[in-house]
Amino acid sequence: WGLPGHAEVGARALQPVLSPAIVEPIRGHVTAKRYLVAVEPAYHDRLSLASRMSLTEQGGPLAAGDAEAFAAGAFAAEAMRLRGYDDGGKVDGLVVPALETYRGLIAAALKPQRPVDPSWARDACSCASCRDPGNGQHLIDASVLDGWTVVRTDRTGDELTVTLHHRSGERHVCHIPTAGPGDLPAEPWGPAFAEQLRAGSTSWPGDHGALVDQLARRGIALLHDCGVEPGTVLEVGNTIGFVRETNYGALFDVVAEPDPVNLAFTPLALHAHTDNPYREPCPTVQLLHCLAAANDGGSSRFVDGFAAAEMLRAEEPAAFETLTTTDVTFRYRSTGVDLQARRPLIELDCDGAVRAVSVNNRSMEPLGADRADAVTFYGAYRTLVDLLDRDDVGIEITLRPGELVAFDNRRVLHGRRAFPVTERRHLQGCYIDIDAIRSAARQAGIGR
C-alpha cells in the first residue's frame, strides 16, 4: 500500500516537468484522504483495504485545525477529486484503458512550462475591453500587442491572470481561461468496435446527441429505424448539418448501373478508400442510407484511418514519413467535369498529429515518370494498403434496410465486398460538412 511519504516523493519528482496545477493535487491527495475521513466518518468505510491499512501510518484523520487549513488551500478541491480517482482505481478486476489512450494528455502535460509572453497574454485576454462579451470576438488587433512587460502572473482555478505594464505607462490585467477551446480528441478503434457501433446505434428521428458524440469522438455513427423512403438521407443530413451538393447532385444512389460513371456504381468489391479526394476541399462527412441489402455479399468495411496511420508510424516509420511528405494527384473525369486535387496520403497538423487520410486507388494518378522517389513512395504506399487490408484493422458490417451510417470521410475509410450482379443492393448517400457536427459536440460539452 502507499508509503507515508509517497505523495511528497512523487510530487517532488514530477515538479521539474509538470505545472503546479498537476503537481500540487498529487502532493495533497494523501492529505485529502485524511481530511475526508475527518469530516465524513462514513468515508472511511468506503476506502479500499489498502487505503484503510495505510491511513494510520499516514497520520490518521486530520485534526480540526489542520482540516480547516487544508480545505482553504489553493488545490484542495483538485486533490480531493484526485483522491476519488485513487479510491476508484483500487477495485479487483477493474479494466482500464491502454496507456496509449493517454498519449496525447501525457505529451501535453510534459510540454515545458515557458515564461508567459506579454504579447500572447494581451492577445489571449478575455476581459470585456478585449473581447465582445456577447460573441467572444476580438475587439483589439495586432497593433496593441507590442510594448508590454509581464509584471505578475497568478493562476486561480480555471483562469490565468497576467498583469502587464506598457512602455507608455498603461497597465492591463489579462484574464485568460486555462481551459482549451473545446478540443475533440479522436478515440481510436479496431475490430472489436463492430459490436459497439451497432449497440450504440440510435433511432431516427430521436435525440441527435449520441450521433454527434460518436461522430466527433469515433468518426462514425449508426442510425436505425430510418425507414426505406428514398430521400431520407437528405432529411437526416439537413437536420444534423448542411448538405453539400456535388456533380452527383445533393443525393446520389449507390446501385449497380449498366454503364457506370464511377466504379462505386458497380457490384465490384471496393478496397477501403476515401471518397472524392480529387475535390478541394474533400467532403468531410458522408451519410449512406440502406434502402435494400444484397442477400449474398455486399457487406461494408470501415477502417479507422487515424488508428491505421498510427500503426504505420509505429511499425514502419520510414513509410509513414514518405506518405506524409509526398503529394499525389487525385483526379476524376466525367461528362462536364475534370476534378483534381493534390495532397499527401497522410496529412499531419503542425504538432505532428494525423489530420486526414486520403486513399483511393481508383482516382490516384501515378507519380511523374521522372520522380526519383518513385520506388520509395510505391513501397510505402503498398505497405499502407496492405495494413488497411489486414484482418486486425477495421470492422465489417452488413447494413440492413432502414439503417444509416454516417462517417468522417477524412478519417474513416470505407469499402465493400463484391455482390452478384443479380442482387439488388441500393444505398442513397449525401455529404455534409464536419464543422456542424463538431460545433454541436462542443456545445454539448464533449471533449471539455
What pLDDT digit, counting tens, does each position of 32-41 carry? 999 999 999 8
Does the structure show a pLDDT above 90 at 233?
Answer: yes
pLDDT tens by residue, 347-359: 999 989 999 999 9
More confident residue, 93 or 186: 186
The predicted structure's pLDDT at residue 448: 43
| Whether CATH 1.10.3210.10 fits 6-109 | yes
- Domain 6-109 and domain 193-443 have a common topology: no
Does the structure show a pLDDT above 80 at 4?
Answer: no
Contact in structure between 329 and 341 (CB atoms under 8 Å): yes
Confidence of residue 11 (pLDDT cuts 50, 70, 90): confident
Q: Of the ranges 25-29, 270-274, 356-360, 369-373, which is most confident?
A: 356-360
pLDDT tens by residue, 197-211: 999 999 998 878 889
Does the structure show a pLDDT above 60 at 446?
Answer: no
Confidence of residue 157 (pLDDT cuts 50, 70, 90): confident
What CATH architecture does domain 118-177 belong to? Beta Barrel (2.40)
Residue 361's alpha-carbon distances to 105, 152, 415, in angstroms, are 35, 57, 12
Strand partners, 417: none
Q: Above pLDDT 90, what percent of the chain? A: 58
Strand partners, 290: 427
Separation of alpha carbons 106 and 83, rounded Å: 19
At 374, which amino acid appears? A
Q: Of the ranges 88-92, 342-346, 418-422, which is most confident?
A: 342-346
Domain boundaries, the chain: 6-109, 118-177, 193-443
- What would the CATH number be for the domain defined by 193-443? 3.60.130.10
Confidence of residue 94 (pLDDT cuts 50, 70, 90): low
C-alpha cell at 183: 478540443
Q: Residue length, the chain?
A: 448
Average of pLDDT values for 228-255?
A: 94
When the pLDDT of each residue in the chain is averaged and rounded to a whole number, the result is 89
Worst-scoring range by mean pLDDT, 1-15, 66-80, 113-127, 197-211? Answer: 1-15
pLDDT tens by residue, 387-416: 999 988 999 999 999 999 999 999 999 999
The predicted structure's pLDDT at residue 257: 77
Confidence of residue 93 (pLDDT cuts 50, 70, 90): low
